[in-house]
Amino acid sequence: MDIQKSDALRRMPVLSLVLPCYNEQEVLPETTRQLEALLARLQASGEIAEGSAIYYVDDGSRDATWDMISSYSEQSDKVCGIKLSRNRGHQNALLCGLLTAPGDILISLDADLQDDLEAIPRMVAEYRKGSEIVFAVRRRRNKDTFFKRVSAESYYKFLAFMGVQIVYNHADFRLMSRRAVESLRSYDETHLFLRGLIPQLGYKSSTVEFDRAERFAGESKYPLTKMLSLAWQGVTSFSAYPLRLITGVGMAISILSLAMAFWAIVTKLFTNQALPGWASTVIPMYFLGGVQLLSLGIIGEYVAKIFESSKNRPRFHVESLCGKGFSEDGSR
């Protein structure tokens, strides 16, 4: 009976689309229109079951985003909303949506319509073939600026070099089965980097390629500073390589210092070329001082993560829910 039920879910799963939102009032009308049309089409073709819906996660928006979500949820049983008590960042909002929304499969995507919606039917098809996780991977980066393209591709390669398991050119556009989501629930990471965490779940996965479009409206909520912060998060959350690098640098400097000391002694005893000067003193002093400060900074970053994790504070608080996808008491 369980096998038959599992096969039925594979054939026609309930799909939940999870979209974190922060000040997205300009794009929400078009996003809702396109996603509702997509759900209706997939349901009519028998690819997903009735009860599939859109779940917007309002990450403490300061504009009319939540008012619009609430209004859409009253007009349509395909739209639901999750409101966080304050802004907690994209990764926490996304995790909240995944852990709160119901459904047999959940697909996370951005609300700005840059993720190709036509990739969603192919992701569902991969799930029906047996994949528990389906990663949407960018086919090319021709829409990015030269700097963003080079920096992004270099970053993925750098993470791989650091030993971080990550899917190349994949962000947060992915499908997860209910089984994978429940496994993700057991992770108590304080510093979230989902694109590095989810591949560690280990379930059968596959990839679907897509082309990323231009943002439909509004401004990007990921400026350079936030991108750099997320990048550093990925390195320090999943790799101890920087700490090992400090050890290697320390050993190399020690060996170099001993070699220089030996050279100075030989020069002093056997030649007349020894010239007193400040360079031999000041340059090594500044160099070693810089290395020490850099090393302390890297160690401090890891210590700070330990400190923040030890407090075990909640990653988010849900202020309110709306939509027919939730029962009156707020349960799934």
Residue-wise pLDDT tens digits, 139-166: 876 666 666 677 767 777 777 776 677 7
Domain ranges within the chain, ordered by starting residue: 2-221+314-322, 241-311
CATH for 2-221+314-322? 3.90.550.10
Instruction: Tell me if 253 sits within 8 A of 291, measured CB to CB.
Output: yes
Report the pLDDT value the prediction gives residue 278, as an integer from 0 to 100: 46
Report the pLDDT value the prediction gives residue 219, as an integer from 0 to 100: 58
Tokens, residue 184: 């993700």
Closest CA to 138 of 111, 168, 98, 97: 168
Report the pLDDT value the prediction gives residue 61, as an integer from 0 to 100: 93
Q: Helix/strand/coil (H, E, C) string of the chain?
A: CHHHHHHHHHHCCCEEEEEEECCCCCCHHHHHHHHHHHHHHHHHCCCCCCCCEEEEEECCCCCCHHHHHHHHHHHCCCEEEEEECCCCCHHHHHHHHHHHCCCCEEEECCCCCCCCCCHHHHHHHHHHCCCCEEEEEECCCCCCCHHHHHHHHHHHHHHHHCCCCCCCCEEEEEEEEHHHHHHHHCCCCCCCCHHHHHHHHCCCEEEEEECCCCCCCCCCCCCHHHHHHHHHHHHHHHCCHHHHHHHHHHHHHHHHHHHHHHHHHHHHHHCCCCCCCCHHHHHHHHHHHHHHHHHHHHHHHHHHHHHHHHHCCCCCCEEEEECCCCCCCCCC
Report the pLDDT value the prediction gives residue 192, as an integer from 0 to 100: 78
Report the pLDDT value the prediction gives residue 329, as an integer from 0 to 100: 40
* Helix pair 279-311, 224-238: axis angle to 10 deg: 80
Report the pLDDT value the prediction gives residue 98, as an integer from 0 to 100: 95
The vertex-94 CA angle with 90 and 97, nearest 5°, equals 145
Instruction: Tell me if 55 sits within 8 A of 17, measured CB to CB.
Output: yes
What φ, ψ does residue 190 adopt, rounded to 5°? -80, -40
Report the distance separating Cα 94 and Cα 46, nearest Å.
28
Report the pLDDT value the prediction gives residue 1, as an integer from 0 to 100: 42
Instruction: Tell me if 42 sits within 8 A of 48, measured CB to CB.
Output: yes
Report the distance separating Cα 305 and Cα 309, nearest Å.
6
Residues of the chain with pLDDT below 50 are 1, 278-279, 328-331
